[in-house]
Amino acid sequence: MRKGLPLRILLFLFFAVLCILILIPFYAVALASFKPGEDLIRYGLNLRLDWSVMSLDNFVYLFTGSHSYFVWFFNSLLLTVVQVVLTLLVSATVAYGFSAYEFRGKNALFVCVLLIMMVPFEILLLPLYTLTHNLGLMNSYSAIVLPGIASAATIFFFRQYLRGVPKEIIAAGRVDGAHEYAIYVRLILPIMKPSFAAMAILNGMNSWNNFLWPFMVLSDANKYTLPIGLKTLLTPYGNNYDLLIVGSFFSIIPIFLLFVAFQKYFIDGMTAGAVKG
pTM of the model: 0.84
Residues 113 and 204 in one domain: yes
Domain, as residue range, for 227: 67-275
Per-residue pLDDT at 2: 62
Per-residue pLDDT at 273: 47
Query: How far is 26 from 63, CA to CA, in rounded Å?
Result: 21
Domain containing 155 — which CATH number?
A: 1.10.3720.10
Residues 51 and 180 in one domain: no
Each residue's pLDDT tens digit, 221-273: 899 999 999 988 877 666 788 888 899 888 988 888 888 777 776 666 555 54
Residues 7 and 116 in one domain: no
Residues 150 and 249 in one domain: yes
As a whole number, mean pLDDT of residues 163-192 equals 85
Residues 112 and 242 in one domain: yes
Q: Which helix (H) or strand (E) holds 234?
A: strand 234-235
As a whole number, mean pLDDT of residues 201-225 equals 91
Query: How far is 80 from 214, CA to CA, in rounded Å?
Result: 12
Residues 106 and 56 in one domain: no
- Going by pLDDT thresholds of 50, 70 and 90, the confidence category of residue 40 is confident
With a cut of 50, say whether residue 274 has pLDDT above it.
no
Q: Is the CA virtual torsion 207, 212, 216, 218 positive or negative?
A: positive
Q: Among the three residues 65, 93, 120, which one is the final residue of a domain in this structure?
A: 65
The most distant pair of C-alpha atoms in the chain lies apart, rounded to whole Å, by 74
With a cut of 60, say whether residue 275 has pLDDT above it.
no
With a cut of 50, say whether residue 105 has pLDDT above it.
yes
Higher pLDDT, 80 or 242: 80
Q: How many domains does the chain have?
A: 2
Residues 92 and 217 in one domain: yes
